[in-house]
Amino acid sequence: MILRPRLEDIKIIGYYLGRMIVGLTLTMLVPIVLGLAFAEINPVLDFIIAFEASLAFGLILIRLCATQKDLNWMQGMIVVSLSWIAAMILGAIPMYLSGHWRSFLDACFDAMSGFATTGLTLVQDLDHISYTHNLWRHLIMFIGGQGIVIVALSFFVKGVSGAFKMYVGEARDERIMPNVISTSRFIWLVSMVYLVLGTLALGTTGLLGGMPAMNAFFHGACVFMAAFDTGGFAPQSQNMLYYHSPAFEVITVVIMILGALNFKLHYHVWMGNRREIVKNIETLVLFVAITVAFIVTAAGLAQTGIYPGAGMLFRKGFYQLVSGHTGTGFQTIYPAQFILEWNPLSIAGVICAMALGGAVCSTTGAIKMLRVGIIFKAMKEDLKRVMLSERAVVVEKFHHIKEVFIEDQQVRSALLVTLCYLILYGLGALAGMYYGYPFMDSLFESTSAAANVGLSCGITDVSMPTGLKITYILQMWAGRLEFMSVFTLLGFFIAAIKGKR
């Protein structure tokens, strides 16, 4: 029997949602400070308006729903899914006010794309956008990559006892430290250390490549945030093509791969356990998957003959592939080139890479390497059962920080999430075809949205149908949260309508 949610449930959800919103609102102070430094008055006003509106909304929720009660699992999941919707709407306010987005829906699309670290964009005239708004586009990727809940838990929301429930609701089922707050802070420590190193590396490369110092380091910081958080926005409309620099491409590949690795793996490597990199199932599967997908992509590109030299083919093919596999979405080709110049085989290689994604507890989306590894191990175990004597005891294990024996529960969970992703990719492709786009284009863009990648073959454009924009927003949201908290929210609404008192 489904029970209708009580008023108390709604109050608890409202209270914690309000706290999340207040925490998130405070991040808008960063672009405000930068805007003042650059004397960009109108952009600063956009952010002051957004800051005040968001703060007022958060404070009203806290006051109206004030409670001392702790979150249960259902409430925690709902707070997370609603926090992401609230972040999208409130984060879109300064973007829309800038005039660079044609409608509020377009601004919401980019805000969700940023927070979910997707990278698909509907911004107009990006080459004339202010530093303030450009920083915000990249900062929301940095926030979303770590996780909105992680940001709130790490810096702004003290003493939330239901923290773990929200942490899990944000698709992070692994704790690095004994408690969630320490885990969140460690994730930030890793990100901040890499931010400094990455900005220095990219900024210096930009400087040596002829960019003025200020722009070189601003771009360096923005590109780092988009690369490490596997986002894919870039400060200029040409994306990575703007820099015309092989060194820039090499550095971003390294950063994208670092972003696609499990934070738990970063922790163990930082603690001196470097062998974990070569032993861990996720890194092994990632290596194999990238190799296989690249062979497929390269074979396709070789057939087309558009890149006559091996070096050229490697540079273009490998970059788009790694960008897709890690869920980043940086491009060194124009979106239309995917469809007009790459053949179906090379596109299929990139789609498979996008669909698989990086490691769990990383900044990537999609099915993820641990699940792929577990499914293959389970298949191997079942095959052994058939092949070996009936009396043989068959066990399969894998190495993920420690040796883990495969259990049915793990396999079930991995298969369920994989199935959900495949359905999500398929539904988005059907929506694309409904609006008249060809199958391959629709599947490419849908996989890119649902797996939070951001590579585009040209469908994502300001002129695309409203229904498709909404479809991609929902795909980015569900894909980033890995379904559970989204399903819980749907269940909550169904219970509110059909449930018994």
Partner 1 sequence: MKSNLRPFVLSLILCVLCFKVASAQPALSRDLIDRAAQYDNKSVVLEGEVIGDIMKRGDYVWVNVVNGANAIGIWMKSELASQIQHSGSYKSKGDGVEVAGIFHRACPDHGGDLDIHAHSLRRTAAGRNIQEKINPAKIAQAFILLGFLVLIWILTLLKRK
CA atoms within 13 A on the CB side of 337: 12
Of 306 and 427, which CB lies nearer to partner 1 in the complex structure? 306
Of 238 and 413, which CB lies nearer to partner 1 in the complex structure? 238
Stretch that binds partner 1, among 10-18, 49-57, 174-182, 393-401 (CB under 8 A): 49-57
Query: Which secondary-structure segment (H or E) carries 400?
Result: strand 397-400
CA atoms within 13 A on the CB side of 66: 4
DSSP one-letter string for 453-480: ----SS--STTS-HHHHHHHHHHHHHHH
Of 316 and 371, which CB lies nearer to partner 1 in the complex structure? 316
DSSP one-letter string for 126-187: GGG--HHHHHHHHHHHHHHHH-HHHHIIIII----TTHHHHHHHTT----SSSSHHHHHHHH
- 53 is a contact residue toward partner 1 (CB under 8 A): yes
Q: Could you give the CA distance from residue 333 to residue 107 in angstroms, rounded to a whole number?
A: 25
- 250 is a contact residue toward partner 1 (CB under 8 A): no
Q: 9, 40, 170, 396: which one contacts partner 1 (CB under 8 A)? A: 40
Q: 161, 209, 310, 493: which one contacts partner 1 (CB under 8 A)? A: 209
Of 67 and 337, which CB lies nearer to partner 1 in the complex structure? 337
DSSP one-letter string for 245-304: -HHHHHHHHHHHHHHHS-HHHHHHHHTT-TTHHHH-HHHHHHHHHHHHHHHHHHHHHHHH
Q: 80, 97, 163, 350: which one contacts partner 1 (CB under 8 A)? A: 97
Q: 24, 32, 46, 267: which one contacts partner 1 (CB under 8 A)? A: 46
The helix/strand/coil state of 3 is strand
* Shortest distance (Å) from residue 305 CB to partner 1: 10
Of the candidates 182, 167, 171, the one whose C-alpha atom is nearest the C-alpha of residue 360 is 171
488, 493, 494, 496 alpha-carbon torsion, rounded to 10°: 120
* Shortest distance (Å) from residue 316 CB to partner 1: 5
Of 61 and 163, which CB lies nearer to partner 1 in the complex structure? 61
Stretch that binds partner 1, among 16-24, 128-136, 271-279, 475-483 (CB under 8 A): 128-136
Q: 6, 244, 384, 397: which one contacts partner 1 (CB under 8 A)? A: 244
- 408 is a contact residue toward partner 1 (CB under 8 A): no
Q: Could you give the CA distance from residue 152 to residue 171 in angstroms, rounded to a whole number?
A: 15
* Shortest distance (Å) from residue 197 CB to partner 1: 23
Q: Which amino acid is at 285?
A: V
Sequence length of the chain is: 501
Q: 184, 332, 447, 488: which one contacts partner 1 (CB under 8 A)? A: 332
Stretch that binds partner 1, among 47-55, 78-86, 111-119, 391-399 (CB under 8 A): 47-55
* Shortest distance (Å) from residue 468 CB to partner 1: 18
- 229 is a contact residue toward partner 1 (CB under 8 A): no
- 236 is a contact residue toward partner 1 (CB under 8 A): yes
The number of beta carbons lying within 10 Å of the beta carbon of residue 254 is 13
- 337 is a contact residue toward partner 1 (CB under 8 A): yes
What phi and psi, each to the nearest 5 degrees, are found at residue 244?
Answer: 45, 50
Binding site for partner 1 (CB under 8 A): 40-43, 45-46, 48-49, 52-53, 55-56, 59-60, 63, 97, 127-131, 209-212, 215, 236-238, 241-244, 246, 306-309, 311-313, 315-316, 332-334, 336-337, 340-341
